[in-house]
Structure 1
Amino acid sequence: MKKLLLAATAAMAIPALAQAHFLLEYTDDTMIERPGDVPVKLIFWHPFEAGHVMTLEKPEEFYVIHNGKKTDLMDTLKETTFDGPENTAKAFMGSVPVKRSGDYVVVTVPAPYYEESEDIYIQQITKAYLNRNELPTDWNQPQGLATEILPLNKPYNVIAGSTFTGRVLSDGKPVAGAEIEIEYMAAEPDLTGTGSKAPTASPLPGGALVAISDDNGYFTFGVPKAGYWGFAALGSGPETEHDGKELSQDAVIWIRAWDLE
């Protein structure tokens, strides 16, 4: 009976523990008007419910791709902290040089994070997009990551009320049946401080928003609200183990939606 009670308690706790983890590559804007260095804050958080902040160790890679050329940005990273409503944890500030016209694909390959509550490692290989002068160059190209989500809509100016379609890839090949968690950045970080702005929405009942990729790796989501939306294809990467434990190697993409005015 005691074992049954413990099992039931653990099962009841699963939804609370399984809230979506998301690595943020946060910038105040995606459309850059003036040339210069754009600040980017890297945070491992639950931005929809503005919940627990996970400690982010220094990434394995942090770079940008512009006109197909990769530029290493690791030397721009500086350790900082991020204050969530529940706790404070390590984060990083970096910058992306945006000078010429075109797309800038920001990529972070983090060190695997150990999630003690689930006894697994999580590695979220993350992409976000900037653009200058409305000239498209790189947004619809894969970046050759171990796993990634290839956007089929321009990711920095999606119209709220329309749809976003992505394709989940692992080593360049489509992933069928991938579980994609969907996250709204209800509380945006404050780049001038260590906290976040006030939330603009509340999480929906029923837990994380989820889509499943089809046989060719595609999924589509109706974007209901302007702001930043994140998509995480869970365990879509080729690596499944780290330090003798299970590894969930996830593909994450952030897009920006705008109201049509």
Structure 2
Amino acid sequence: MTHPRTLLQGLVAAMLIGMTGAAQAHFQMLYVKDTALARGEPLEFAVVFTHPFAGGPTMVMETPRAFSHTSAHGGEKIDLRQYLRPVQWQSRENRATAYRASIPREVVRPLGDHIFVLEPEPYLETEEDVYIQQFTKLVVNVGGVPGNWAEPQGLPVEIQPLSKPYANWTGGVFRAVVLADGKPVPFAEVEVEYLNHAVEIDNNTFGQHADVTAPQASFNATSTYADAQGIITIGLPRAGWWGIAALDIGTTKTHKGKPLSQDAVLWVQARDMK
């Protein structure tokens, strides 16, 4: 029989591990300065695997497996890997390999929605001996013309928006449905994290100043669950960028003989009413 003290120590240890995980949530960033554009213009992407609320540490990225673009006009998927270039990204704690991508104006010239998708190489989290692969989406709109922002992209895992990801007022809510192989995932675990440091993209670094001070570590990345239909509703209490990640929802569970967590990530932008 397990001694009560041993059981209590085990529970405390599990709680501490959980709090550490929440405080150090991994997020694949797919960042541009703005997602609601008046007209088509060149886009500069920062592709960084990091902890956005804390501004680091940043994890080393290998060459992404895929980086693509789909527009509302024609729906043809365009391979953007030729525009990726490795950089050394300076976080508040370390420097690690990330990527930049300079997308020419011709790609985003048409009015309407432009969906960007990143499929990274799985990352080995050595502390947990598990691989993490985060399929990440970002939607850019040109000219306010609605388009295909709500259409699934046929990914193994993804977050399908039910609200426009680029047109959100501060204080509103954002709704989406979590999908795996195109089907809703009931009660999926979801983490939400605020990009809490300026992205100095020309210098490949995060700003040192934190916009928000968390009262306690569990506020760094907040958690919720999808409902029985796989739908999530997320509050957006502050202007800026919010990362939403549905965790370990893929049907592929191993990579190179180790456990694999396939996560779906979507970035949304909120703006103040002025």
TM-score, normalised to structure 2, is 0.89
Corresponding position of 2:116: 106
- After TM superposition, give the deviation of residue 248 of structure 1 in Å: 0.5
Corresponding position of 1:250: 263
Corresponding position of 1:16: 20
SS at 1:57 equivalent = coil
Corresponding position of 1:202: 213
Corresponding position of 1:182: 192
% identity of equivalent residues: 38
Counterpart Cα distance in 2 of 1:181 and 1:76:
30
CA contact (8 A) 2:173 2:234 kept: yes
- After TM superposition, give the deviation of residue 202 of structure 1 in Å: 2.5
- After TM superposition, give the deviation of residue 16 of structure 1 in Å: 2.5
C-alpha distance 42-75 of structure 1, shift in aligned 2 (>3 A): same
Counterpart Cα distance in 1 of 2:257 and 2:176:
32
SS at 2:260 equivalent = strand
- After TM superposition, give the deviation of residue 138 of structure 1 in Å: 1.2
What is the aligned length?
260
SS at 2:135 equivalent = strand
CA contact (8 A) 1:49 1:203 kept: no
Q: Please, which moves more after superposition, 8-17 or 185-194?
A: 8-17
Corresponding position of 2:65: 60
CA RMSD of aligned residues (A): 2.0
C-alpha distance 178-77 of structure 1, shift in aligned 2 (>3 A): same
SS at 2:200 equivalent = coil
C-alpha distance after superposition, 1:118-150 (max 9, x if no partner): 110000000011111011111011111111001
- Match for 1:158: what amino acid? N
CA contact (8 A) 2:39 2:143 kept: no
- Match for 1:253: what amino acid? L
Pair 1:37-2:45 in alignment: no
CA contact (8 A) 1:49 1:202 kept: no
Pair 1:237-2:262 in alignment: no
2:165 aligned to which of 134, 151, 155: 155
Q: Please, which moves more after superposition, 9-18 or 147-156?
A: 9-18
- After TM superposition, give the deviation of residue 95 of structure 1 in Å: 2.9
Query: Which segments of 5 or more consecutive residues in structure 2 lack a partner in the other structure?
Result: none
- Specify which structure has the higher proportion of helix: 2
Corresponding position of 2:97: 90
Counterpart Cα distance in 2 of 1:249 and 1:203:
28
Which segments of structure 1 move beyond 4 Å, counting only runs of 4 or more?
4-11
- Match for 1:93: what amino acid? R
CA contact (8 A) 1:47 1:188 kept: no
- Match for 2:20: what amino acid? A
